[in-house]
């Protein structure tokens, strides 16, 4: 049975039929799009240099299909947020390295506990695709961030208010690696390349509509 949700992130699931969810979500600060990088300038490593991404809030929708009362699959898409990239460690002196707009796409398989009950917790896991749609220069000129594949873990709970209406809370942990590159005008235009590890924690809550 088809499922559809709209919320600030990937959201919940539903029993046999198709739900729609709407709500708000935010990436948690400590675990939100933070990154750790090993950059190199002019082919020489820059010891202790790193970067972090700012926390973001956006609107997401999940479309899924329930194969049984317990098992389903869901595809999460959303409005791409813009995030700041700031230098850390020995790169902190460069300040804002740039900005980028990205759209994470997540496909998860989900198992629903207590299917048919009023309170329905669930777990899920799957793949995520990190689609970079635009970059803007800061301290780094010609900033380029590669698209990347990763994995995602998911946990949440649905609470049914009626056969067609409910509430949900959902948490996703993403694991991604990508590469950013550009030039540092502050170092005479030296080329810079960084391997980035992204591990955002995405938290959302909203309304579930089942139809």
pTM of the model: 0.70
pLDDT single digits (tens) 58-75: 787 778 788 898 998 888
Distance (Å, whole) CA 18 – CA 6: 12
Q: Which residue has the higher pLDDT, 13 or 48?
A: 48
- What's the mean pLDDT in 177-188? 81
Q: Tell me the CATH architecture of domain 2-210.
A: Beta Barrel (2.40)
E strand intervals along the chain:
2-7, 19-27, 35-41, 44-45, 49-53, 60-66, 71-78, 82-89, 96-112, 119-137, 141-145, 148-160, 165-184, 190-198, 201-210
**pLDDT of 25 over the 80 cut:** no
pLDDT single digits (tens) 130-150: 888 888 888 888 888 889 899
Report domain extents, the chain. 2-210
Residue in this structure with the two tokens 């170092």, named with its chain if needed: 187
Average of per-residue pLDDT values in the chain? 75
Q: What band does 206 get if pLDDT is binned at 50, 70 and 90?
A: confident
Q: 76: which 2 tokens? A: 């999460």
What is the secondary structure of 76-111 as a DSSP string? EEEPPPEEEEEEEETTGGG-EEEEEEEEEEEEEEEE
């Amino acid at each position: 049975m088809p499922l559809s949700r709209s919320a600030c992130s990937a959201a919940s699931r539903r029993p046999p039929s198709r739900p729609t969810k709407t709500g708000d979500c935010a990436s948690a600060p400590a675990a939100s799009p933070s990154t750790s990088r090993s950059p190199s300038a002019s082919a020489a490593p820059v010891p202790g240099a790193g970067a972090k991404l700012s926390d973001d809030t956006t609107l997401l929708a999940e479309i899924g299909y329930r194969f049984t009362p317990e098992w389903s699959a869901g595809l999460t898409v959303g409005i791409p947020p813009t995030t700041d990239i700031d230098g850390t460690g020995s790169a902190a002196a460069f300040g804002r390295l740039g900005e980028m707009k990205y759209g994470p796409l997540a496909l998860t398989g989900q198992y629903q506990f207590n299917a048919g009950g009023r309170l329905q917790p669930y777990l899920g896991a799957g793949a995520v695709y990190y689609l970079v749609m635009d970059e803007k220069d800061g301290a780094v000129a010609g900033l380029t961030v590669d698209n990347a594949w990763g994995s995602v873990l998911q946990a949440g709970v649905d609470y049914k208010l009626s056969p067609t209406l409910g509430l949900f809370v959902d948490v996703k942990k993403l694991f991604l690696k990508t590469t950013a590159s550009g030039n540092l005008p502050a170092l005479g235009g030296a080329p810079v390349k960084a391997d980035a590890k992204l591990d955002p924690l995405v938290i959302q809550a909203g309304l579930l509509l089942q139809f």
